[in-house]
């Protein structure tokens, strides 16, 4: 890793929700092109960590630097930093009052002043990529969960982010729809996108992750290359968790 500047650098981060310590001295650095999968039991702080990266959660101490910019720094504009960080949510959060096309073109047109025709062309290309080009003009309420989540991925990609954050993207889906969403994510990974994924999908982690991070009780327990992680987990808590998942 010599000479490579990490694109995300998390250092000694603490976060409290009232009395509850959500993140306890978490440090993690991620290089461009890496696919990091964060796993752990619920309440382990994995979603909080992910949401801290684009400041949907504000940390209490420590630092998070994204692409050279301290996201909590007084000189940095969080709205500009967020344009580099695409985010996909568990509950999709598509804008129900906009068509699929509207969902994809709104941010590029309003924030990057992309001309409408160009934004639409790019949106169609993205919809083609996630396999729902024919749904461009419908409203999200007409789509299945899997389709909505694929639109949500396309919406995030429409801003041309350098990094994609996924917060349990398949947890709200019916089982038969999980595959179609994971397929899109695998494609994205193969294209070299930097990805940070919080998930329970171990198959996806094995197939795609360059590194797997295990969190428990707000602490980062283990962070190792995927093959090593699954073949030979070091920490007893990691082993216990992996056993429980099988």
* Residue from the set 37, 64, 66, 94 that interacts with other proteins by CB under 8 A: 94
Q: Cα separation of 27 and 201, whole Å?
A: 23
Scan residues 31-60 and list those touching other proteins (CB under 8 A). 54, 56
Q: Which parts of 169-208 interact with other proteins (CB under 8 A)?
A: 171-172, 174
User: Residue 162: which of 37, 75, 68, 94 has the closest Cα?
Assistant: 68
Residue 208: half-sphere exposure toward Cβ, Cα within 13 Å: 28
Instruction: Find the shortest distance in angstroms from Cβ 228 to other proteins.
Output: 32
Q: Is 145 in the site for other proteins (CB under 8 A)?
A: yes
Query: Is 85 a binder of other proteins (CB under 8 A)?
Result: yes
- Among 31-39, 89-97, 122-130, 194-202, the segment contacting other proteins (CB under 8 A): 89-97
- Residue count at the site for other proteins (CB under 8 A)? 36
Q: Does 97 bind other proteins (CB under 8 A)?
A: yes
Nearer to other proteins, 92 or 229 (CB): 92
In contact, 32 and 51? CB cutoff 8 Å: no
For residue 163, report the phi and psi dihedrals to the nearest 5 degrees: -135, 145
- Which listed residue (4, 142, 227, 240) binds other proteins by CB under 8 A? 142
Calpha distance 173→164 (Å, rounded): 20
Give which of 36, 25, 10 is closest to 217, Cα–Cα: 25
Q: Which segment (8-16, 77-85, 197-205, 213-221) binds other proteins by CB under 8 A?
A: 77-85
Instruction: State the Cα–Cα distance between residues 197 and 200, nearest whole angstrom.
Output: 10
83 touches other proteins (CB under 8 A)? yes
According to the binding rule CB under 8 A, does residue 96 interact with other proteins?
Answer: yes
Out of 12, 27, 61, 91, name the contact with other proteins by CB under 8 A: 91
> What is the dihedral angle through the alpha carbons of 160, 98, 152, 167, rounded to the nearest 10 degrees?
110
- Site stretch for other proteins (CB under 8 A), options 5-13, 117-125, 149-157, 232-240: 149-157
Kindly state the smallest distance separating residue 152's Cβ from other proteins, in Å: 8
Q: Which two tokens stand for residue 56?
A: 């949907």
Residues making contact with other proteins (CB under 8 A): 54, 56, 79-80, 82-83, 85-87, 89, 91-97, 106-107, 110-111, 139-145, 148, 152, 155-156, 159, 171-172, 174
């Amino acid at each position: 890793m010599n000479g490579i500047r990490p694109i995300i650098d998390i250092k000694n981060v603490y976060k409290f929700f009232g009395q509850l310590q959500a993140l306890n001295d978490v440090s993690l650095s991620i290089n461009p092109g890496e696919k990091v999968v964060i796993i752990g039991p619920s309440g382990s702080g994995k979603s909080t960590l992910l949401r801290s990266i684009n400041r949907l959660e504000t940390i209490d101490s420590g630092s998070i630097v994204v692409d050279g910019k301290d996201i909590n720094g007084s000189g940095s504009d969080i709205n500009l930093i967020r344009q580099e960080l695409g985010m996909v949510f568990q509950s999709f959060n598509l804008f129900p009052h906009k068509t699929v096309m509207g969902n994809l073109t709104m941010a590029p047109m309003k924030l990057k002043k992309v001309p409408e025709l160009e934004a639409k062309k790019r949106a169609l290309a993205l919809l083609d990529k996630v396999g729902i080009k024919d749904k461009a003009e419908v409203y999200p309420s007409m789509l299945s969960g899997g389709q909505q989540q694929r639109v949500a991925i396309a919406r995030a990609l429409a801003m041309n982010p350098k990094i994609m954050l996924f917060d349990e993207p398949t947890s709200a889906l019916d089982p038969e729809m999980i595959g179609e969403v994971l397929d899109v994510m695998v494609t994205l990974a193969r294209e070299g996108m930097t990805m940070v994924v919080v998930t329970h999908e171990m198959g996806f982690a094995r197939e795609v992750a360059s590194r797997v991070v295990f969190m428990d009780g707000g602490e980062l327990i283990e962070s190792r290359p995927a093959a090593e992680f699954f073949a030979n987990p070091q920490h007893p808590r990691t082993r216990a968790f992996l056993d429980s998942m099988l």
